[in-house]
Amino acid sequence: SQELEQSPQSLIVQEGKNLTINCTSSKTLYGLYWYKQKYGEGLIFLMMLQKGGEEKSHEKITAKLDEKKQQSSLHITASQPSHAGIYLCGADLTGTASKLTFGTGTRLQVTL
Protein backbone atom coordinates (compact mmCIF):
# COMPACT_ATOMS: atom_id res chain seq x y z
CA SER A 1 0.00 0.00 0.00
CA GLN A 2 1.06 3.56 -0.65
CA GLU A 3 2.51 5.33 2.40
CA LEU A 4 1.63 8.74 1.09
CA GLU A 5 -1.73 9.15 -0.61
CA GLN A 6 -2.65 12.11 -2.74
CA SER A 7 -6.12 13.10 -3.76
CA PRO A 8 -7.51 13.62 -6.23
CA GLN A 9 -5.43 11.61 -8.69
CA SER A 10 -6.40 13.97 -11.46
CA LEU A 11 -8.21 17.23 -11.67
CA ILE A 12 -9.61 19.36 -14.47
CA VAL A 13 -10.56 22.90 -13.53
CA GLN A 14 -11.62 25.91 -15.47
CA GLU A 15 -9.25 28.84 -15.55
CA GLY A 16 -9.90 31.17 -12.66
CA LYS A 17 -11.25 28.49 -10.35
CA ASN A 18 -9.70 27.51 -7.05
CA LEU A 19 -8.56 24.00 -6.26
CA THR A 20 -7.10 21.92 -3.44
CA ILE A 21 -4.85 18.89 -3.51
CA ASN A 22 -4.41 16.75 -0.43
CA CYS A 23 -1.53 14.63 0.77
CA THR A 24 -2.30 12.17 3.56
CA SER A 25 -0.17 9.78 5.55
CA SER A 26 -0.76 7.33 8.35
CA LYS A 27 2.66 8.29 9.65
CA THR A 28 4.01 11.58 10.94
CA LEU A 29 5.22 13.91 8.23
CA TYR A 30 8.53 15.16 9.58
CA GLY A 31 9.33 17.28 6.55
CA LEU A 32 6.80 17.83 3.79
CA TYR A 33 7.73 19.06 0.33
CA TRP A 34 5.50 20.04 -2.54
CA TYR A 35 6.82 19.79 -6.09
CA LYS A 36 5.44 20.42 -9.52
CA GLN A 37 6.46 18.34 -12.50
CA LYS A 38 5.82 18.74 -16.17
CA TYR A 39 5.49 15.24 -17.63
CA GLY A 40 8.90 13.84 -18.53
CA GLU A 41 10.78 16.63 -16.81
CA GLY A 42 12.39 17.24 -13.48
CA LEU A 43 10.71 18.48 -10.33
CA ILE A 44 10.27 22.12 -9.45
CA PHE A 45 10.35 22.89 -5.75
CA LEU A 46 7.28 24.75 -4.53
CA MET A 47 7.29 24.75 -0.75
CA MET A 48 8.51 22.96 2.33
CA LEU A 49 6.65 22.61 5.61
CA GLN A 50 7.97 21.28 8.88
CA LYS A 51 5.93 22.44 11.80
CA GLY A 52 2.42 21.37 12.68
CA GLY A 53 -0.04 24.05 11.68
CA GLU A 54 2.47 25.72 9.39
CA GLU A 55 1.21 27.53 6.33
CA LYS A 56 3.21 29.03 3.48
CA SER A 57 2.20 30.95 0.40
CA HIS A 58 3.91 31.83 -2.82
CA GLU A 59 2.05 33.79 -5.45
CA LYS A 60 -1.27 31.98 -5.80
CA ILE A 61 -0.24 28.75 -4.13
CA THR A 62 -0.73 28.06 -0.42
CA ALA A 63 0.39 24.95 1.38
CA LYS A 64 -0.59 23.87 4.87
CA LEU A 65 0.53 21.14 7.23
CA ASP A 66 -2.07 20.11 9.77
CA GLU A 67 -1.45 20.18 13.52
CA LYS A 68 -1.04 16.44 13.72
CA LYS A 69 1.46 16.54 10.86
CA GLN A 70 -0.23 13.75 8.97
CA GLN A 71 -1.90 15.71 6.23
CA SER A 72 -0.94 18.56 3.97
CA SER A 73 -2.96 20.48 1.46
CA LEU A 74 -1.97 22.57 -1.52
CA HIS A 75 -4.40 25.24 -2.56
CA ILE A 76 -4.26 27.16 -5.81
CA THR A 77 -6.28 30.33 -6.11
CA ALA A 78 -7.59 31.58 -9.44
CA SER A 79 -5.91 28.82 -11.44
CA GLN A 80 -4.14 29.60 -14.70
CA PRO A 81 -3.02 27.37 -17.59
CA SER A 82 0.54 27.75 -16.29
CA HIS A 83 -0.48 25.83 -13.17
CA ALA A 84 -1.10 22.69 -15.22
CA GLY A 85 1.18 19.78 -14.44
CA ILE A 86 1.72 17.01 -11.95
CA TYR A 87 1.87 17.93 -8.30
CA LEU A 88 3.80 15.66 -5.99
CA CYS A 89 4.13 15.72 -2.24
CA GLY A 90 7.25 14.23 -0.74
CA ALA A 91 7.87 13.61 2.93
CA ASP A 92 10.31 12.29 5.45
CA LEU A 93 8.35 9.54 7.15
CA THR A 94 11.17 8.33 9.35
CA GLY A 95 12.30 11.49 11.08
CA THR A 96 15.89 10.77 10.14
CA ALA A 97 16.17 13.52 7.52
CA SER A 98 17.48 10.86 5.18
CA LYS A 99 15.08 10.33 2.31
CA LEU A 100 11.80 11.44 0.86
CA THR A 101 8.86 9.22 0.12
CA PHE A 102 6.63 10.54 -2.61
CA GLY A 103 2.91 10.59 -3.00
CA THR A 104 1.02 9.19 -5.92
CA GLY A 105 0.82 12.53 -7.67
CA THR A 106 -2.06 14.69 -8.85
CA ARG A 107 -2.39 15.57 -12.51
CA LEU A 108 -3.88 19.03 -12.95
CA GLN A 109 -5.35 20.35 -16.16
CA VAL A 110 -6.59 23.91 -16.46
CA THR A 111 -9.05 24.60 -19.24
CA LEU A 112 -9.71 27.95 -20.82
Partner 1 sequence: GAVVSQHPSRVICKSGTSVKIECRSLDFQATTMFWYRQFPKKSLMLMATSNEGSKATYEQGVEKDKFLINHASLTLSTLTVTSAHPEDSSFYICSARDTTGGWGTEAFFGQGTRLTVV
Q: Which is nearer to partner 1, 56 or 77 (CB)?
A: 56
Positions in the binding site for partner 1 (CB under 8 A): 30-31, 33, 35, 40-45, 48, 50, 88, 90, 92, 97-105, 107
Minimum distance from residue 110 beta carbon to partner 1 (Å): 18
Interacting residues of 25 by C-beta distance below 8 A, sequence separation 6+: 3, 4, 5, 70, 71, 91, 93
d(CA 47, CA 26) in angstroms, rounded, equals: 21
> Which residue lies nearer to partner 1 by CB, 17 or 58?
58
Amino acid at 69: K
What is the total residue count of the chain? Answer: 112
Using the minimum distance from each CB to partner 1, give the nearer residue, 18 or 50.
Answer: 50
CB of 83 to partner 1, least distance (A): 19
CB of residue 42 to partner 1, shortest distance in Å: 4
Tell me how far apart the alpha carbons of residues 100 and 53 are, in angstroms, rounded to a whole number: 20
